[in-house]
Structure 1
Amino acid sequence: MSGDGDSSVAEVVERELQLLSPAGRSSRALAEQLLDPEFTEVGASGRSWDRQSMLSALPVMEGAADDGPRYVPSEMTGTVLAPGIVHLTFETLLDGRRDRRSSIWRKLDDETGWRMFYHQATPVPDA
């Protein structure tokens, strides 16, 4: 990958890391900037989320408190699927629990920038 693809993936990785941080999870204003209006998620629990339910829940979910457990991401890679569409895959560790994650980000215009359109988390079973 070269040129615009590299910068698109780098921007999306930066935004994904913001959503994983306590600051990103506890700030509704920041989360509103990062989640697409049509956002959906299938969580590690199997629960389906839409944008409004996620915005309400993020501040009280694990990983939102400065003094609590934090997400530790690893193996984050991204692929540009089409202009304005990036797919990220990675793993997270949070308080001893590992999940495999997949996010699709889209950029509709330069004003709003990259926003998470879809996310899925799948628990990694103990070895």
Structure 2
Amino acid sequence: MDARVQRLKKLLVLQEQLKAMHELRHAGFVAGAIAAKQEAAEIADRFNADDSMSGLFPEVYQRRIASALAREDANLQSAGREAANVAAANARTNMVERNWREARGADERQRGDRERLEIIGHRPMKPGAK
């Protein structure tokens, strides 16, 4: 196999791994945003409960709710950046895969041509033919 084809195959594997990493990071940020939103909702429910101590420490509840909502925003922004990275990685992966397929096809055609020329070169010559 041609060295270019092998390099492109290795690059394709690397691009697929990079894309998978960005997808995993994106999923992690989305999960973090969901968890932070749920935490904020749970704290708000406790704040509004009849038996809560929110009357004594309202600023603690409010600070924790604000912190959870800030984490949700930060995770959503990070998830957006990772979504852009996934799209870019996907485009690069598709480009490398297309180049690899083209190089592999050209390599196979060249190998076939060489084999045919070799077969033609090994044919016994007919007597009287030049």
User: With structure 1 as the length reference, what TM-score do the two structures score?
Assistant: 0.27
Compare CA radii of gyration and give the structure with the larger one. Answer: 2
Q: Which has the higher contact order (CA 8 A, sep 6+)?
A: 2
Higher helix share: 2
Higher strand share: 1
User: With structure 2 as the length reference, what TM-score do the two structures score?
Assistant: 0.26
